[in-house]
Amino acid sequence: MDLGIAGRKAIVCASSRGLGKACARALAEAGCEVVLNGRDEQKLAAAAAEIAQATGAKVTSVAADVATPEGQKALLAACPAPDILVNNNAGPPLRDFRTLSRQQMIDGVIANMIVAIELIQKVIDPMCERKFGRIVNITSGSVKMPLAGLDLSSGARAGLTAFVAGVARSVAANNVTINSMLPGAFDTDRLRGTLNANAEKQGKSVAEVSAARMASIPAKRFGQPDEFGAACAFLCSAQAGYITGQNLLLDGGTFNGAF
């Protein structure tokens, strides 16, 4: 299916690897000009070269920390008028909430809530004027199904979800949509790191811990980044203009609920 976004300009945050990279590649495959972002210049350059070679799309990389005003300025200098914004950022590490310092909590809220809001503030009015805009926030399945130890991540991302719910309705008439994607267990570096840590903690092999985790998922497997990227590209498509203010859970059926 032609997504109707060829030639559109897209910014994808935290896209040098994992789910962000998969979203950037899917948008490039759909014909978008894509701006990648990350803090590791070497990984970012490699990702940009890989996507450009595979898709033939124009790919620009911006090495910057978007949690800073300088990083956001650099990102928007590379793409002053994005049609598509994919907000993404790594979450705080697994940690007992009792050990969280005030500064750690502030940093977590900045990274997983405030940064996305600041970027939305900067791009939304021009999108409304052009009568096209697609904003996708990558949050987490823990927004719907909180996990102990990820309390800070869950809380900050849930705050972002509630914040944009009203904003999405206020701009829908301008063909600007805001939706969130809530990933469960996807085969990424972050998941593999968690599995390795759990294996060491439990005195088991990584294969054993991985198999047990997959067994707990109704789909009996981990998600693949490419299928996440494809879902993101559809939410950014011309055909998705009637979908807004929604939270798309991609977790292989792990959340046991009808709504």
Distant-in-sequence contacts of 65-71, Cβ < 8 A, 24+ apart: 65/39, 66/13, 66/14, 66/37, 66/115, 66/119, 67/110, 67/111, 67/115
User: Picking from 52-61, 88-97, 136-145, 243-252, which range would have the lowest pLDDT averaged per residue?
Assistant: 88-97
Q: Taking 90 as the threshold, does the pLDDT of residue 30 lie above it? A: yes
The answer to whether 24 touches 87, Cβ cutoff 8 Å, is: no
Single pTM value for the model: 0.95
Mean pLDDT of the chain: 96
For 28, other C-beta atoms within 10 Å of its C-beta total: 25
pLDDT band at 68 (very low <50, low <70, confident <90, very high): very high
Which one-letter DSSP state was computed for residue 15?
-
Give the separation between CA 161 and CA 33, rounded to whole angstroms: 27
For the chain, give every domain's residue range.
Answer: 9-186+224-250, 187-222
Q: How many Å apart are CA 176 and CA 171, to the nearest integer?
A: 6
Is residue 190 over pLDDT 90?
no
What does the block give as tokens for 219? 């789909």
Fold of 9-186+224-250: Rossmann fold (3.40.50)
**Cα–Cα distance for residue pair 7/215, rounded to 1 Å:** 42
Six-digit token string for 207:
């294969």
Alpha helices, DSSP H, located in the chain = 18-29, 41-55, 69-78, 102-109, 115-130, 151-171, 189-202, 206-215, 225-235
Measured between alpha carbons, how far is 222 from 23 in angstroms, rounded to an integer? 17
pLDDT at 87: 98
For range 169-187, the mean pLDDT: 97
pLDDT (mean) for 64-85? 96
% the chain with pLDDT above 70: 100
Average pLDDT, stretch 76-85?
A: 97
SS3 of residue 40 by DSSP: coil
Radius of gyration of the chain (CA): 18
171 pLDDT higher than 90: yes
Cα→Cα distances 188→126, 195, 244, Å:
34, 11, 27
* DSSP, residue by residue, 59-76: EEEEE--TTSHHHHHHHH
DSSP state of 217: S
Q: How confident is the model at residue 194 (pLDDT cuts 50, 70, 90)?
A: confident
Largest CA distance in the chain: 57
DSSP-based three-state secondary structure for 203:
coil
Min mean pLDDT across 30-34, 129-133, 142-146 is at 142-146
Q: Backbone phi, then psi, for 3, in 5-degree steps? A: -80, -10
